[in-house]
């Protein structure tokens, strides 16, 4: 008479222990959020590197032996898109062992907490970035701090802070951390090598270098302008065959996808130099608007 009861209990146990599912956090609201979060078909960029982000916010998947690495998580509502894109490519998100973050703003770190809960991955950032990511709040020295009071992001557990030029090695893939502050105090650029058909290219995921701030902030009155100049110089000198960045329009993703029949338009060994020069031009305009 007890066997049916045991059977029901076993069934309930199996359901409870079933595959982990993504549990997204509350969505962020902003003027551009809906456009940023429009779906994007995932695709291979080169070798072991895939684009799994949205139409307006980058997220990258890197194959590393038997595991996977993820870079950036978009908005809180982007996590579900990223999860679906990874599965659409035939990968299991539960194989993600590490998540790397470019900078601690709600539009790039917002989905990381949910993706970490799903995967159990370690999150990597700079020392300054780890403080913000762990709290879910920007620090007061961030140029966007006053705006960010209205737009925090879900706090992230188990954040590992690493130093400038430190290397994280996972299943044979070496990802190098490059400090590039200015847009945020803890801004990070990540680089790694990707090989296909006997040809290896150095990929640079360059952090944002835009002089964007809350109203009233002056780049000319603080360290951010000097940091942006130094970071632009750093990125321009990197070994760089493929440039990627947190917003797809910075590296012309949609235009490049339309030209894929001509070869791989993402391969361009002067792209990092152009990216840095463009950033310095934006900064010059900002400083001019401040009277400098």
The structural domains of the chain, with segments of one domain joined by +, span 41-289
The DSSP 8-state label assigned to residue 77 in this structure reads T
Percentage of the chain lying above the pLDDT 70 cut:
92
Non-local CB neighbours of 196 within 8 Å, separated by 6+ positions: 46, 47
Q: What angle do CA 144, 190, 214 make, to 5 degrees?
A: 5
Domain 41-289 has CATH 3.60.15.10: yes
Q: Could you read off the pLDDT of 69-110 as tens digits, one per residue?
A: 999 999 999 999 999 999 999 999 999 999 999 999 999 999
Residue 5: pLDDT over 70:
no
pLDDT at 172: 85
Q: What angle do CA 58, 63, 64 make, to 5 degrees?
A: 130
The residues assigned a catalytic role are 103, 105, 107-108, 183, 217, 247
pLDDT at 14: 45
Residue reference for tokens 């703003």: 105
Higher pLDDT among residues 170 and 118, named by residue: 118
Neighbours of 216 (CB within 10 A): 6
Helix pair angle (112-119, 78-88), 10° resolution: 50
Q: Say if CB 109 and CB 129 are below 8 A apart.
A: no
Average pLDDT over residues 266-285: 97
Average pLDDT over residues 182-207: 97
Nearest Cα to Cα of residue 238 among 193, 279, 196, 280: 193
Residue reference for tokens 């990929």: 203
Pairing of strands 122-125, 96-100: parallel
pTM: 0.92
Residue 93 burial by Cβ neighbours in a 10 Å radius (0-12, 13-18, 19+): buried
Spatial distance between the Cα atoms of 56 and 180, rounded to a whole number of angstroms: 22
Spatial distance between the Cα atoms of 123 and 132, rounded to a whole number of angstroms: 13
Neighbours of 229 (CB within 10 A): 17
């Amino acid at each position: 008479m007890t066997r049916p009861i045991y059977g029901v209990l076993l069934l309930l146990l199996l359901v409870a222990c079933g595959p982990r599912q993504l549990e997204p956090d509350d969505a962020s609201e902003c003027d551009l959020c809906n456009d940023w979060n429009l779906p994007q078909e995932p695709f291979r960029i080169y070798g072991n590197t895939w684009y799994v982000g949205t139409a307006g916010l980058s997220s990258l998947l890197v194959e590393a032996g038997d595991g996977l690495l993820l870079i950036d998580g978009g908005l809180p509502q982007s996590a579900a898109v990223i999860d679906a894109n990874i599965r659409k490519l035939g990968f299991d998100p539960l194989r993600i062992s590490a998540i790397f973050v470019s900078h601690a703003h709600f539009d790039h770190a917002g989905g990381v907490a949910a993706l970490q809960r799903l995967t159990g991955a370690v999150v990597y950032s700079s020392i300054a970035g780890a403080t913000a990511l762990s709290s879910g709040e920007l620090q007061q020295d961030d140029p966007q701090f006053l705006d960010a009071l209205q737009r925090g992001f879900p706090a992230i557990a188990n954040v590992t802070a690493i130093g400038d030029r430190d290397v994280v090695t996972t299943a044979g893939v070496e990802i190098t951390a490059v400090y590039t502050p200015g847009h945020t105090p803890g801004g990070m650029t990540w680089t790694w090598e990707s090989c296909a058909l006997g040809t290896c290219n150095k990929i640079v995921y360059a952090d944002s270098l835009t002089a964007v701030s809350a109203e009233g902030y002056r780049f000319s009155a603080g360290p951010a302008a000097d940091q942006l100049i130094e970071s632009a110089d750093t990125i321009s000198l990197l070994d760089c065959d493929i440039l990627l960045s947190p917003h797809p329009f910075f590296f012309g993703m949609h235009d490049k996808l339309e030209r894929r029949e001509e070869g791989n338009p993402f391969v361009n060994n002067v792209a990092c130099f152009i990216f840095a020069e463009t950033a310095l031009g934006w900064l010059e305009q900002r400083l001019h608007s401040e009277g400098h």
